[in-house]
């Protein structure tokens, strides 16, 4: 079973690695977005799926990465791979600054603080026109690099999933789950909950930061509204919930299913698609709050490492 799974996984990875050789530009950019969603949903899972601290502002790290990389590329002439990694670092710095006060808040208060953070960042970016271009946005020099960005996005998606695997199979991961289960008891059992939450938060910020930089480079133009939209946070949350939060493969599954669904339906029914998306959210929350893998896990007593 495990062997078959690993073989299948290897086959998928090889196929994806070869894909750009015969794909259209549209195909490459579509897959690149899928990788982006996997990385985003998986990153959200690291903090919210494991500790239960729901981040409603995770797109803030995406935007931070996009603007950091955009400025480094556009104004300082950095090469995009270095700029995107720097975007990841800047997202972690932001996570440290925000997490330090906000992770002391409990449950819903943290969620609301994160929502506010995203709005504040958007306003700040709009305000400092000299650096960010303000509401006019920031244009990057023209570059045709969809294929390298495809591989870079893919690597980030793999890296974040591998990171999730390492976390969930470690004692650190178990401790993050104790925070979700009962934070008071975790603290009383000698677990430094604040420090654990902060580490998880930092880990969950780096992926969106890098991915934000890559998306900025791919699109060639960013503006506050396009990199800080609430819907991006909601989409990554829904993907993680749909697949199964707190699992390794749930966010990947959720991203693949919902992104494919979106691409298929969106092309045909531009309004109906939002309605259907809303319906999926409601159905998941009501009928299987643990997501697809969560349900399978319980029903067939599967290990946590799925």
Say whether residue 190 binds another protein (CB under 8 A).
yes
Contact 183/63 with Cβ under 8 angstroms? no
* Integer Cα distance of 283 and 281 in angstroms: 6
Phi and psi of 56, rounded to 5°?
-95, 10
Q: Which stretch binds another protein (CB under 8 A): 6-14, 21-29, 65-73, 169-177?
A: 169-177
* Integer Cα distance of 156 and 43 in angstroms: 10
Smallest gap from Cβ 194 to another protein, in A, equals 8
Q: Which stretch binds another protein (CB under 8 A): 37-45, 113-121, 144-152, 181-189?
A: 181-189
Smallest gap from Cβ 191 to another protein, in A, equals 6
Smallest gap from Cβ 46 to another protein, in A, equals 17
**SS3 category, 12:** helix
Name the strand (E) or helix (H) holding 71. helix 59-74
Site residue total, another protein (CB under 8 A): 18
Residue 274 burial class via C-beta count within 10 angstroms: exposed 0-12, middle 13-18, buried 19 and up? middle
* Integer Cα distance of 251 and 161 in angstroms: 9
Please identify, using beta-carbon distances, which residue of 54 and 206 lies nearer to another protein: 54
Please identify, using beta-carbon distances, which residue of 58 and 175 lies nearer to another protein: 175
| Among 247, 276, 283, CA closest to 260 | 276
Contact 42/251 with Cβ under 8 angstroms? yes
Say whether residue 288 binds another protein (CB under 8 A).
no
Say whether residue 76 binds another protein (CB under 8 A).
no
Say whether residue 51 binds another protein (CB under 8 A).
no
Say whether residue 185 binds another protein (CB under 8 A).
yes
Smallest gap from Cβ 302 to another protein, in A, equals 12
Say whether residue 181 binds another protein (CB under 8 A).
yes
Say whether residue 177 binds another protein (CB under 8 A).
yes
Smallest gap from Cβ 12 to another protein, in A, equals 30
- Sequence-distant (6+) residues with CB within 8 A of 237 are 41, 44, 48, 54, 56, 58
Contact 56/64 with Cβ under 8 angstroms? no
Say whether residue 106 binds another protein (CB under 8 A).
no
* Integer Cα distance of 27 and 35 in angstroms: 12
Dihedral sign, CA of 101, 103, 106, 111?
Answer: positive
One of 48, 178, 233, 235 touching another protein (CB under 8 A): 178
Q: Which stretch binds another protein (CB under 8 A): 10-18, 143-151, 154-162, 190-198?
A: 190-198
Say whether residue 111 binds another protein (CB under 8 A).
no
The residues binding another protein (CB under 8 A) are: 171, 174-175, 177-178, 180-182, 184-193
């Amino acid at each position: 079973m495990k062997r078959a799974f690993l073989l299948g996984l290897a086959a998928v990875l090889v196929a994806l690695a070869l894909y750009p050789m015969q794909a259209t530009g549209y195909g490459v950019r579509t897959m690149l977005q899928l990788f982006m969603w996997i990385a985003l949903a998986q990153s959200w899972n690291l903090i919210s799926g494991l500790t239960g601290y729901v981040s409603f502002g995770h797109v803030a790290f995406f935007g931070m990465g996009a603007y950091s990389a955009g400025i480094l590329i556009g104004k300082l002439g950095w090469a995009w791979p270095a700029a995107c990694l720097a975007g990841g670092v800047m997202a972690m710095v932001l996570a440290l600054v925000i997490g330090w006060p906000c992770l002391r808040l409990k449950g819903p208060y943290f969620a609301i603080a994160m929502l506010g953070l995203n709005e504040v960042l958007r306003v700040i970016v709009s305000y400092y026109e000299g650096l960010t271009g303000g509401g006019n946005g920031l244009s990057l020099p023209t570059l045709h690099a969809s294929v390298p960005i495809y591989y870079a996005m893919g690597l980030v998606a793999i890296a974040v999933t591998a990171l999730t695997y390492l976390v969930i199979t470690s004692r650190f991961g178990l401790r993050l789950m104790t925070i979700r289960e009962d934070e008071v008891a975790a603290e009383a059992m000698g677990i430094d909950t604040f420090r654990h939450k902060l580490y998880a938060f930092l880990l969950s910020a780096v992926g969106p930061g890098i991915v934000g930089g890559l998306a900025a480079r791919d699109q060639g133009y960013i503006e506050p509204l396009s990199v800080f939209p609430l819907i991006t946070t909601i989409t990554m949350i829904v993907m993680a919930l749909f697949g199964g939060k707190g699992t390794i493969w749930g966010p990947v599954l959720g991203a693949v299913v919902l992104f494919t669904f979106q691409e298929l339906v969106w092309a045909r029914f531009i309004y109906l698609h939002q309605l259907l998306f809303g319906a999926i959210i409601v159905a998941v929350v009501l009928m299987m709050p643990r997501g697809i893998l969560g349900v399978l896990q319980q029903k067939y007593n599967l290990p946590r490492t799925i």
